[in-house]
Chain A
Amino acid sequence: MSNLASRGDLQRWAPLLVLVALIVFFTLVNPNFLSLKNFARISISATPPLMVAIGATFIIIMGSIDLSMEGSVAVCAVIFATLFTALGGTLGGWGWVALPACLIVGAICGLVTGTVHVGLRIPSFMASLSMGFVGIGLSLMMTGGDRIRVEDPLFRSLLTQRFLGFPLMVHVAFAVLLAAWFIQRKTTLGRNFYAVGGGEELAHASGLNVRRVRIAGFALAGVFYAFGALFAVAQLGIAETATGYNFMFVSITSIVVGGTALWGGSGGVWNTLVGVLIVNVINNGMIVMGLPRYVQDGVLGLLVIIAVVLSTDRKSLAFVK
């Protein structure tokens, strides 16, 4: 019995151990790696993907998948920047209205994806992938392919101003992470995600409105994608269709590496935080080590497989598809 428990414990903490091992390894190769300045750099590049990955975590806990993030982030970023500029282009004035507006747009994007998935009974994979394409197309239509620059020093202070060595955006993101943890832990909706992911028929038989939970999940994920869009714009000062690119791979990889199982019912936002940090530490560390680019991609793939092997309990699964 104690043997079983320790195995479970190991799996539970495996992602964190992988993260620590990576940090030790990269520090041994280049001592510069272990510095507050570098951790600040890693956390800056990790912040937007973390927001997106938290949103997708809820969906994956439900046993579904959401691949619409690239489109949603692009739409949110472009609408935010357009509105922000139209309202005077500074947080000092009416520009702040664009912030909640962006979150609402994100929720609407998610709501549409969820409704398409549940209402039309299309698998979440296809529904969300397609809605992602729609989002990319929509943002292209709005921008005509151009970039919108957001240069308001007040908004950019999310990147340029530091507190305790970390930019403001990192602190704000941590607050959002705590909110996500609260939703996951303390709200009915959060608990329902686990119920749906753990056994949908059972949840349904217990009187849970599974369809409504699913739609709510997608809308909630959309809000976190909107946070991701805001931080991505704060980080680069540019909003464009390409703002959404690369998020799908990074977020899904991070969630899985963090130990949230793709078949649903387990994991959570702290796992996702560790997963996002693992992926970003690997990316940063490989350049700090000086590995050439073509080796980096291969190493990243291998490390992801190792992390998944260590951190997920596959013994209890009857089959893997």
Chain B
Amino acid sequence: MSFIKDFIEKETLNRRNFLLASAFGITGAAAASIVGAGRAHAAGAIEDPTIAWSYRDRTNPYWNSIVSGGESFVESLGKPKSALVHLINEGSSEKSLADVKALLGKTDGKLALAIDANDSPNARPVVEAVVAKGAFVSTIWNKTDDLHPWDFGDNYVSHMSWSDIGPAEQTATILLKAMGGKGAIVGLGGIASNNPAIERRTGLDNALKNFPDVKLLDYQAADWDTQKANSIMSSYLTRFGDEITGVFCANDTMAYGVLEALRAEGLAGQIPVVAYDGNAQAVDLILAGELLATVSTNPHWGGGITAALAYYAATGAFKPSDEPHEHREFNGPTVLITKADAEEFKKKYIDATPTYDWKDFWGPSAGPITY
């Protein structure tokens, strides 16, 4: 049982370090970067790092696309798909961090990690654990505003996010125009504390400012969930009846639930609905005339390029600290899909998976992140 004792001792030390770092406050971050730079693996030191993706779950089409991109990148290196290590956190930040630490131990820091840290505060301990072991990490979506890749030398390679406010404003505008600029809408949002849920709501509010004759009847969180969205939509129909002339959904999976609630009443295709995420089913629904618009964030590319950035920084193909800030924190691409371009989008992105140059790190990106 000595390994348990070792583990507890190690964790106690880690905890002590963490407390010390907190005591240092901001200087703690700087200290960590010095420690990181002093470790064995500088950029280029790792010959064949393990490649891992850490993400939330496998029941969601979005995360499946992310993973498919990661696998496609791994295959571009001549490795089998199974060479990609999956760390699934199931919505738990503690599990996310514990899995990363375990893998760092197993690989002794010879690791290229792509990760969504599940929530913003968890990004810092993950990055610090990776940096302390001299491994390389690229993050997406969740990190706090005071955490920056350039504060950690080369080992925190990059962070990519997507600004959803603009695209959500576009889909909302399409919806409001389809309604002839008058009438009333209901909205269904994601998990209230999620960043994309907040940004997509802001996009809707921005669009509504330009259409003073459209009323927002109610906006409820359906937690990205098809079933919840379904029952909320049918309750909306009772509460507002014929008043509803449009529906705004913060993602595709909720829109499916909304459309089935409308279908049950024979209303599918009669009330315009907009969504977000650009999943295959949503694109089919646009072609069928039941959904008005959705937005793709190209998760396949995002999943591949995030793993590629961490990998090529680890092998030394490029040196992150030589890159400008806009190459270390940047926004991913967003593509608006409406009936006019759905056919083309389907052909290009769904029926055939486009092949990407996984060394073109920033080609499809959409500019630096601004705070």
Enumerate chain A interface residues (CB-CB to B < 8 A). Answer: 30, 32-33, 35, 37-38, 41, 44-45, 140, 144-147, 149, 156, 159-160, 167, 232, 235-238, 240-242, 245-246, 280, 283-284, 287-288, 290, 292-294
A237 CB contacts on chain B under 8 angstroms: 256, 260
Query: CA A245 – CA B238 in complex, angstroms?
Result: 25
- Top 4 nearest A-B pairs (CB, nearest first) are A145-B58, A287-B235, A41-B234, A38-B238
Q: Does B25 contact A (CB under 8 A)?
A: no
**B231 x A140 contact (CB < 8 A):** no
B238 in complex: contacting residue of A160, A238, A280, A288, CB < 8 Å = A288
Q: Shortest beta-carbon distance, A288 to chain B, in Å?
A: 4
> At the interface, is chain B mostly helix, strand, loop or mixed?
helix
**A236 x B260 contact (CB < 8 A):** yes
- A147-B281, A238-B226, A293-B192 known; A41 and B237 CB under 8 Å? yes
Q: Shortest beta-carbon distance, B169 to chain A, in Å?
A: 23
Q: Shortest beta-carbon distance, A317 to chain B, in Å?
A: 35
Show 24 residue pairs from A and B whose CB-CB distance is below 8 angstroms, ordered by the A residue: A33-B238, A41-B237, A44-B264, A45-B230, A140-B58, A145-B57, A145-B58, A145-B60, A159-B264, A236-B257, A238-B226, A241-B58, A242-B225, A242-B226, A246-B225, A246-B227, A246-B228, A283-B231, A283-B235, A284-B234, A287-B218, A288-B239, A290-B239, A293-B221
Q: Does B365 contact A (CB under 8 A)?
A: no
**B263 x A284 contact (CB < 8 A):** no
* 4 new A-B contacts at CB < 8 Å, known A140-B58, A246-B228: A45-B231, A145-B59, A236-B230, A293-B221
Query: CA A32 – CA B70 in complex, angstroms?
Result: 50
- Give A140's nearest chain B residue, CB to CB: B58
- A144-B64, A146-B64, A235-B260 known; A284 and B58 CB under 8 Å? no
Q: Does B211 contact A (CB under 8 A)?
A: no
Identify which of residues 250-297 in chain B touch chain A, using a CB-to-CB cut-off of 8 Å: 256-257, 260-261, 263-266, 281
Q: Does B333 contact A (CB under 8 A)?
A: no
**B64 x A145 contact (CB < 8 A):** yes
Q: Does B220 contact A (CB under 8 A)?
A: yes
- Give A291's nearest chain B residue, CB to CB: B220
**A288 x B235 contact (CB < 8 A):** yes
**A284 x B59 contact (CB < 8 A):** no
Query: CA A245 – CA B260 in complex, angstroms?
Result: 18
Q: Does B316 contact A (CB under 8 A)?
A: no
- Give B240's nearest chain A residue, CB to CB: A32
**A41 x B239 contact (CB < 8 A):** no
Q: Does B356 contact A (CB under 8 A)?
A: no
Query: CA A280 – CA B232 in complex, angstroms?
Result: 11
- A159-B264, A293-B192, A293-B220 known; A32 and B227 CB under 8 Å? no
A293 CB contacts on chain B under 8 angstroms: 192, 220-221
**B234 x A45 contact (CB < 8 A):** yes
**B263 x A245 contact (CB < 8 A):** no
Q: Shortest beta-carbon distance, B220 to chain A, in Å?
A: 6
Q: Shortest beta-carbon distance, A170 to chain B, in Å?
A: 11
- Give A141's nearest chain B residue, CB to CB: B58
A38 CB contacts on chain B under 8 angstroms: 238
B235 in complex: contacting residue of A240, A241, A246, A284, CB < 8 Å = A284
Q: Does B61 contact A (CB under 8 A)?
A: yes
Q: Shortest beta-carbon distance, B263 to chain A, in Å?
A: 6
A290 CB contacts on chain B under 8 angstroms: 218, 239
Q: Shortest beta-carbon distance, B239 to chain A, in Å?
A: 4
Q: Does B349 contact A (CB under 8 A)?
A: no
Query: CA A140 – CA B60 in complex, angstroms?
Result: 11
**B256 x A236 contact (CB < 8 A):** yes
Query: CA A283 – CA B222 in complex, angstroms?
Result: 12
Query: CA A92 – CA B320 in complex, angstroms?
Result: 60
B263 CB contacts on chain A under 8 angstroms: 156, 159-160
**B239 x A149 contact (CB < 8 A):** no
A283 CB contacts on chain B under 8 angstroms: 231, 235
- A147-B281, A293-B220 known; A241 and B59 CB under 8 Å? yes
A238 CB contacts on chain B under 8 angstroms: 226, 256
B57 CB contacts on chain A under 8 angstroms: 145
Chain B positions 210 through 249: 1 when the CB is less than 8 Å from some CB of chain A, otherwise 0: 0000000010110001111011101111110100000000
Q: Shortest beta-carbon distance, B367 to chain A, in Å?
A: 31
- Give B63's nearest chain A residue, CB to CB: A145
A245 CB contacts on chain B under 8 angstroms: 225, 227
**A32 x B239 contact (CB < 8 A):** yes
Query: CA A232 – CA B230 in complex, angstroms?
Result: 11
- Give B234's nearest chain A residue, CB to CB: A41
A149 CB contacts on chain B under 8 angstroms: 281
- Give A45's nearest chain B residue, CB to CB: B231
Chain B positions 333 through 361: 1 when the CB is less than 8 Å from some CB of chain A, otherwise 0: 00000000000000000000000000000
Query: CA A232 – CA B59 in complex, angstroms?
Result: 16
**B235 x A35 contact (CB < 8 A):** no
Query: CA A145 – CA B253 in complex, angstroms?
Result: 14
The CB with the most chain A CB atoms within 10 A, among B61, B234, B257, is that of: B234
Q: Shortest beta-carbon distance, B221 to chain A, in Å?
A: 5
A45 CB contacts on chain B under 8 angstroms: 230-231, 234
- Give A234's nearest chain B residue, CB to CB: B260
B264 CB contacts on chain A under 8 angstroms: 41, 44, 159-160, 167, 235
Q: Shortest beta-carbon distance, B340 to chain A, in Å?
A: 24
**A159 x B260 contact (CB < 8 A):** yes
**A284 x B218 contact (CB < 8 A):** no
Query: CA A246 – CA B224 in complex, angstroms?
Result: 13
